[in-house]
Amino acid sequence: MSKTYGKLASRIYELDKPVGRSFGDVEFYLERLKSVAGPVLEPATGNGRMLVPLAQAGHSVSGFDLSPEMLALCKANCAQHGVEAELSEQGFTTFRYAQKFAAIVLPAGSFQLLTDVVDAMSFLRRSKEALVPNGKLLLDISVTGGFMDHAPRARHWQDGEDLLTLQEMRTATDYVKQVVTSQLRYELWRDTQLVTTEMELFSLRWWGMFELELALREAGFTQIKIFGDYQSGAVNTASADTLIFEAQ
């Protein structure tokens, strides 16, 4: 059982969400960061789906991730797109930089990978410490409704001769800790033969809108804006799938 994005998981992430794939988030974050002149950090930077467009927009970017496989993809994607970034293998609760950042951006619901609230608070405080005064933290979360559907799911990708499959099955829901856990089964097939299997227990924590606002205040952020579904203006709380927090 792997706990971070392993070899097959990373390969599938790159097939499913390559540089250039946006959920509306890439354009939204680029717009929110337009007036930011200093360096930008992307924790959990993955394959560079967001980091490469940030660098292409002229930002000086740093990124960290706990998965060496994801970092290798990120490095290759930076080279392929002719951009530079400072990349390192670090974790949410231990990351450290000599410099301060003008902005920190955490897209794709990665904040919800912090399933322990103590770790989540530690990440928020660490982010505040890593920012210049008046620096911005931008992050997004899926709204709670998204966690209610837990039918098993199977997807596949063809990559040349290779068939890659992913089966997801919810194995636990902790309503008190607000954490769901799924078993992910990644497989690589070639010539009708199963080549390799990778198993992962994948957990995510859901947050209420006001709960996360209070957590950001507790971590020392004061000016907090909340957006829905990567749209400017007031959140439509009846229909929003994603909430975006901008905290200064």
Ligand X SMILES: C[S@@+](CC[C@H](N)C(=O)[O-])C[C@H]1O[C@@H](n2cnc3c(N)ncnc32)[C@H](O)[C@@H]1O
Closest to ligand X by CB, 73 or 188: 73
Closest to ligand X by CB, 10 or 178: 10
Closest to ligand X by CB, 75 or 189: 75
Q: In whole angstroms, what is the distance from residue 115 CA to residue 107 CA?
A: 16
Closest to ligand X by CB, 104 or 219: 104
Shortest distance, position 47 Cβ to ligand X, whole Å:
7
Closest to ligand X by CB, 50 or 166: 50
Shortest distance, position 91 Cβ to ligand X, whole Å:
4
Residues in contact with ligand X by CB under 6 A are: 4-5, 17, 44-46, 49-50, 65-67, 70, 91-92, 107-108, 110, 113
Residue with the closest Cβ to ligand X?
Answer: 46
Shortest distance, position 49 Cβ to ligand X, whole Å:
4
Shortest distance, position 190 Cβ to ligand X, whole Å:
25
Shortest distance, position 114 Cβ to ligand X, whole Å:
7
